Amino acid sequence: MTQGGSESNGVLRNQSDASVEKEHEKQMPPSKLFEQNIVDEIGFSDGNFLSVSSNDGLIRMLLELDFQNKYMQAQYGDMMKYFSHDDRRAKLEVQGHHQSNHQDDIEELHREIESLKGQLLEERKTHDATEEALELLRAAHKEAEMKLLETSAKLNEVQQQMDLEIKARDEKYSELDSRLNRLHKRAKQRIQEVQK
Asked if the structure places residue 55 within a domain, the reply is yes
142 vs 180: CA distance, rounded Å: 55
Domain count, the chain: 1
The pLDDT score that the predictor gives to residue 69 is 85
**Measuring CA to CA, how many Å separate 27 from each of 44, 60, 104, 180?**
21, 21, 72, 181
- The pTM of the full predicted model, rounded to 2 decimals, is 0.34
Whether 18 maps to a domain, the answer reads yes
Q: Does some domain include residue 44?
A: yes
For residues 8 and 24, the answer to whether their CB atoms sit within 8 Å is no
In which band, very low, low, confident or very high, does the pLDDT at 16 lie, cut at 50, 70 and 90? low
Q: Is residue 114 part of a domain?
A: no
Q: What is the pLDDT of residues 79-88, one digit of tens each?
A: 777 777 666 6
Residue 16 placed within a domain: yes
Encode pLDDT of 17-67 as tens digits.
555 555 555 555 555 555 555 555 544 444 444 444 556 777 788 888 888
Give 11-16's long-range contacts (Cβ < 8 A, gap of 24+): none
Q: Which domain holds residue 17?
A: 2-78
CA–CA gap between residue 147 and residue 59 (Å, rounded): 127
